[in-house]
Structure formats: structure tokens, C-alpha cells
Chain A
Amino acid sequence: MNKQEIAQFELNTLELLKNVMDPEIEINIVDLGLIYELYYDGDKKINVVMTFSTPSCPLGDTIKTNIQETIKQKYPNFTIDIDVVFHPQWNTAMVSEEGKRILGL
């Protein structure tokens, strides 16, 4: 895979993650701005750097499981690493235009 193909793969995976909902806010995690970075090493390993809307989010583990399962359904042999960070802290500026429309911002 060349750099361009990897970039396209990352974009496609990000699009795939739009199927993962935050069940409380009822917006997918990509438009909510929870995914900070997504890398693909070109060899079946995906690394996701993400946050939650609040550090004490009781749905944190569930959202992480959902990400794992969603990617594995399409790419069963892939390894997925998820790093949860709280710096920078999530804020409304991270919500996409589509997310803002859903939230009525």
C-alpha cells in the first residue's frame, strides 16, 4: 500500500466508524468529534486515538467494544488499538457540521 492508499483506507475506516453511536447523545462518534486520530500501518493494524465527552462516561467501555466489533466485522484479521486520551479535552468545537445540525447548534 502506498501513502495515498493508506490515507484512503483511513478515510474509509473513519466512515465505517460513523456506524458507532453514542447511545446517550444519539450521534455517531465521528460526527461528535470523539475520534482524534486514526492510523493504519498498511499491515492489518489500526490505531485509534479517541476521547469521551466526559472522563467518567459510563458508556466508555461499550463504545470501545463497539468500535472493535464494527471494524472487525469488515476486517476480521486486523488488530485494533484504541487509546483513550483526555488532552485535549473534548469540546463542542470538535463536533462536525453534521453533528451540529443534529444537535441543533
Chain B
Amino acid sequence: MNSLQTNNAPNSSVVVPHFIFGAINLFVLAILILLANANLFEAYFNTKLIAITHMAVLGWATMIVFGALYQLIPVVFETSLYSEKLAKFTFWISAVSIIFLTYSFWIGAFSTLLIYAALLMFFSLLLFVVNVLLSYKKSAIKNTSSKFIIAAILWLAVTELIGTIIALNFKFGFLTVIHLHYLKIHATVGLIGWFLMLIIGVGSTLLPMFLISHNLKYKKLDISFILLNMGLIGLISNWFLVQNVLFTVVCWVLIVVGVLLFISFIYESYKKRIRKKLDVGMQYSMLAIASIFLPIIISLVVLVGFNLKFEILSRVIVLYGFSIIFGFITTLILGQTYKTLPFIIWLEKYKSLVGKVKTPLPRELYSKQIATIQFYLYLFFLVTIPIGFLMNNNGIIKIGSYSLLAVSILYNINVLKIIFHKVKNNENE
């Protein structure tokens, strides 16, 4: 059994740029939210909000996820990455695409720049998909976690394909239905197919590992996998073909049950954990898992309808997106950064020194104090933005946005502190 993955780990030069670029993009994201301020109250498909959404899901979340995944593939697939060169090339193409894409949305260049930005983005994501699929092909491991990751990768390709078609349609206008219909499918596949499935795949390996819990019921995840994919395929087919409301509800139920099974798995892992005290990284992670109930409730409101006025419905949809992107995905990424990045750097700096000199612990590579302040500021941001939205209060939104800006600065400080950690002299003594 090939059980030790250290030798399969990629060079840190593959992983680290993703964390740096992702961290910078979190800062850019906070600035964009502050600049957009009043636009946040407009319809959910306004140019500024779409730019912010793409900076959040691609520039911030996907970038960190790519970096983390390159490191985690050896752990989950028990094999090395297919090509490190391809991963480095993909990073640069993605980085340029993301800036280009966000800028195109921000200035509303839908029929001019956007098409080129979208095609470049499609190409870069395709390179990532190919690299992961070829890595998986080498792997002998076909467990639940790896199935989720591969499904997520395929859903990423579908998301990007639909996104590119929407972008092309802005210029050539070949779609018969208005683009908002496809935008709904694009967002749903991206959030559930790509992010949620990837998080389940990676989380079901990492969270029990960090909590140190054993004898978990993996059957729950197998069922979750089937339900989520059935629900998502059903939803897309329905939206493309018949648009039956009852069928939408059935698919929604399948997806929600799938999510609940994952939560149940993590809860079981939490209850069986042997490490009782949660560090700041795991506090974030557990908060993220708990916050998944919010989008479930909001989507129920949208689904049942309650005959909401368009203005209110539009705001509820923005909140729905906020609850997934910030409540769930960003919270988890902020937490898992403190669990994975210190290890990546620690391994790089101290792998050859262990046993010979006194080494620090990985958690000592960042400031716990900064991480804790960042945690509470982020909680403040998570609470203030929905309140600002519900009360239609621009001032509260602004306070929340400044809080995110502070979070992004603190996060950047800690990320840079970890990455540029120097092996101190006294550790060499």
C-alpha cells in the first residue's frame, strides 16, 4: 500500500503562487465591493455585481482551491500530479483571464472584451481539468472522496462551457431564451456542481483527518454523491427542456438531502473527534459547515415563491449567492488556509531538518492573534451584510464591507508571513 504521500507532493512553486494571487484577489474583492456599494442593491445581474461574483468565485475561491488541490491530489488520489509544468502554465493563463474577465464585466464590455476574456478563461480551466483527470487516471484509488473531486472537475467544465456560451451569445445572439435563464443554470452548476462537490470530496478527507476521527459511516457520502448528481442533472435537464416546477422541487429535495447527508457525516466526525479543542482553522471550517443551512432556507423561499416582488426577489437572490460564496465557501477557505498552507511551507522548509534541529510547529508560522481578530471581523462582516440588505441600509453594508477589507488585509499579512517564513538561526543550533 502506497500510503505516504510526501514524495508525491508537488514543488511548492506550483502551489504557492495560487495562494498569493488568491489572497491579493480577496483584497481586490473587498475594494470592488466598496466601490460598487450602491450597485449592490440593484438587480442581481448588474455589471458590478457580476464582476464581483466572478472575482469572488474565480479570482479568490477557485484560485485557492486550485493551489490546495494540487497539494491534495497526492493525498486523496495517492499519486503525483500529472504535470507540474502544465499546472504552472495554467496558473498564469488563469491569472490573466480572471483580471481580464472581471474588468470586462466591471466596465460592461459584454459584446467586445468579454468574449475574448471568456474564451481565455475557458481554455485555462480546461487545462486544469485535463491535468486533474490525467492525474486521476494514474491513480489506483477510486474512493468516495476521489469520485466527488472528479465529478466536481467535470461540473467545472460544464459551468465554464455554459458561461462561455452566454458570453458568445452577447456578441452573436444565437440563443432563443434570454441569457438570464442560462445564467441561472451557469450559477447553479458552478456553486453545486463545482464548489459543493469539491468541498465534499476534499472535506470528507481533510476534516476527519484534522479532527482525528475514525470509524465514520462513508455510506452516507456514497448516497450523497448519487443524490447530488441526480438532482443536478435533473435540474439542468428540466431547465433546458421542460421547466416543470414540480420536477424542480423534486430535484431540489434530492440536492438538499445530499447536502444534509454530508453535514451528518461531518457532524459524526465532529462528535467522534479526539482533538477536543478546535484551533482557529477548524473554527472557521465548522462555522462554514453550519452556515450551509442558510442558502438551503433561502433557496426554499425562492422556490416556494411567496409571490415576492421582483425587487425583493432580486435581493433574496443576492443574499442566496452571498450565503454560499461568503457564508460557506469563503469561510471554509479562510479556515483551511490556516490548516494547509503552514504545512506546505513547513514541509518545504523543515523536511530536511527534522530530527536534526529544533523545528517550530506549523501553526507557529502564522500569527494566531491576527488569525483570531480576522475570525471575529469576518463574523461581523457575515452578519452585517445580510442585515444591511434586509434593512435596505447602505451605511450598514459599508461598515460590513470595510470589515471585509480589514479581513483581507489581515489574511494577506498571515499568508505572506507563512510563505516568507525564514528558518531562524536558533532553529539551526
Q: Which residues of A contact B (CB under 8 A)?
A: 20-21, 23-26, 52-62, 64-70, 72-73, 84, 86, 89-92, 95, 103-105
Contact of A56 with B205 in the complex, beta carbons under 8 Å = yes
Q: Can you list 9 A-B pairs, Cβ within 8 angstroms, ordered by A? A: A56-B209, A57-B5, A58-B5, A58-B75, A62-B351, A65-B351, A73-B355, A86-B3, A103-B274
Interface residue? B168 (CB, 8 A): no
Contact B205 A58 (CB under 8 A): no
- Alpha-carbon distance between A24 and B356 when the two chains are bound, in angstroms: 19
Contact with A55, one of B3, B212, B362 (Cβ below 8 angstroms): B3
Beyond known contacts A21-B361, A69-B354: 4 more, CB 8 A cutoff: A56-B78, A69-B355, A103-B274, A103-B276
Interface centre among A26, A59, A90 (most CB of B within 10 A): A59
Question: Once the chains are docked, how many angstroms separate the CA of A54 from the CA of B355?
Answer: 22
Question: Which A residues are in CB contact (< 8 Å) with B7?
Answer: 61
Query: Are the CB atoms of A62 and B3 closer together than 8 Å?
Result: no
A61 contacts B6, C-beta separation under 8 Å:
yes
Residue pair A65, B274 in contact (C-beta under 8 Å): no
Kindly name the residue among A57, A68, A105 whose own CB sees the greatest number of chain B CB atoms within 10 A: A57
B76 at interface, CB cutoff 8 A? yes
Q: Which of B362-413 contact A (CB under 8 A)?
A: 362-363
- Are B76 and A20 in contact, with the CB atoms below 8 A? no
Q: Is the CB of A60 within 8 A of B276?
A: no
* B contact set with A: CB distance below 8 Å: 1, 3-7, 9, 74-76, 78, 205, 208-210, 212, 214-215, 274-277, 343, 346-347, 350-351, 354-356, 359, 361-363
Q: Would A65 and B355 count as touching, CB distance under 8 A?
A: yes
Check A59/B6 contact, CB under 8 A, given A24-B362, A69-B356, A70-B355.
yes
How many angstroms between the C-alpha atoms of A58 and B74 in the bound complex?
9
- Assuming A23-B361, A67-B355, A70-B355, is B75 touching A55 (CB within 8 A)? no
Q: How far is the CB of B163 from chain A (nearest CB, A)?
A: 33
Q: Which residue of B lies closest to A89 (CB)?
A: B214
* Residues in B whose Cβ lies below 8 Å from that of A58: 5-6, 9, 74-75, 343, 347
B213: nearest chain-A partner, CB-CB? A92
Residue of A whose beta carbon sits closest to that of B4: A60
Chain A residues with Cβ below 8 Å from B5 are: 56-58, 60
Query: If the complex has contacts A56-B76, A61-B7, are A25 and B276 also in contact, measured as CB distance less than 8 A?
Result: no
* Complex partner residue of B276 from A72, A73, A105, CB under 8 angstroms: A105
Would you give the shortest CB distance from B311 to chain A, in whole angstroms?
49
Residues of chain B contacted by A95 (CB below 8 angstroms): 274
Complex Cα distance A70/B357, Å?
A: 10
Tell which of A25, A26, A62 touches B6, judged by Cβ atoms closer than 8 Å. Answer: A62
Asked if residues B346 and A23 are in contact (CB atoms below 8 Å), the reply is yes
* Distance (whole angstroms) from the CB of B272 to the closest CB of chain A: 9
> Are A55 and B9 in contact (CB-based, < 8 A)?
no
In the bound complex, CA of A57 to CA of B343 (Å) = 12
Max chain B C-beta neighbours (<10 A), residue from A25, A61, A64, A70: A61
Which A residues lie within 8 Å of B275 (CB)? 25, 103-104
Most chain B CB within a 10 A radius of its CB, from A25, A52, A62? A62
Instruction: Please give me the residue from chain A that is nearest to B78 by CB atom.
Output: A56
Shortest CB-to-CB span from A51 to chain B, Å, is: 10
Q: Is the CB of A66 within 8 A of B354?
A: yes
Q: How far is the CA of A104 from the CA of B212 in the complex (A)?
A: 13
Pairwise interchain contact B361-A26, C-beta atoms closer than 8 A: yes
